[in-house]
Amino acid sequence: MYIDYHTIGQRIKKIRKQKHFTQEKLAENLEVSPVYISQVENGKTKLSLEMLIRIANLLDTNPGYFITGVSYSAKDYLKFDISQFLQDLPPEQRQLIIDIAKLITKYKQ
């Protein structure tokens, strides 16, 4: 299984900046060096699952976001995926899926 550490690092960097953390501040809170944080953000070093979770907790972010790029807490996180999936289907199959979804929501209530 391929793990894209560069992309994970870029997502960490993005959230770090959104949360107004410097590399130095993040490193200090994690008790690691700023060089380590830089290497993680640039995909030059592999980080452990434990470190990923520590970073996620510190940045108040779901660790899954760093791996997948999807924020499952967002209300419409599947909207794009569903749209792409439906776009590739012929109209009659799209309608069938819509009918099934309507049935599911009807019985959910």
Whether residue 17 lies inside any domain: the answer is: yes
- Token output for 34: 């700023």
In the three-class reduction of DSSP (H, G, I as helix; E, B as strand; rest coil), residue 55 is classed as helix
| Residue range of the domain that includes 62 | 5-68
Residue 29 lies in a domain: yes
Residues 28-64 pLDDT 10s: 999 999 999 999 999 999 999 999 999 999 999 999 8
Same domain? For 51 and 13 the reply is: yes
SS3 1: coil
Percentage of the residues of the chain whose pLDDT score is greater than 90: 63
pTM over 0.75, yes/no:
no
User: Looking at the structure, do residues 102 and 59 belong to the same domain, yes or no?
Assistant: no
In this structure, what CATH number is given to the domain that contains residue 32?
A: 1.10.260.40
Inside any domain, residue 97: yes
Do the domain assignments include residue 74? no
- Cα 48 to chain centroid distance, Å, stands at 17
Q: Are residues 62 and 85 in the same domain?
A: no
Give the mean model confidence (pLDDT) for residues 13-41: 97
Q: How far is CA 31 from CA 16, 35, 40, 70, in A?
A: 16, 12, 14, 28
Question: Is the residue at 73 inside a domain?
Answer: no
Q: Check whether 5 has a pLDDT greater than 70.
A: yes
**Percent with pLDDT over 70 in the chain:** 91
CB 11 within 8 A of CB 69: yes
The structure tokens listed for 39 are 């290497």
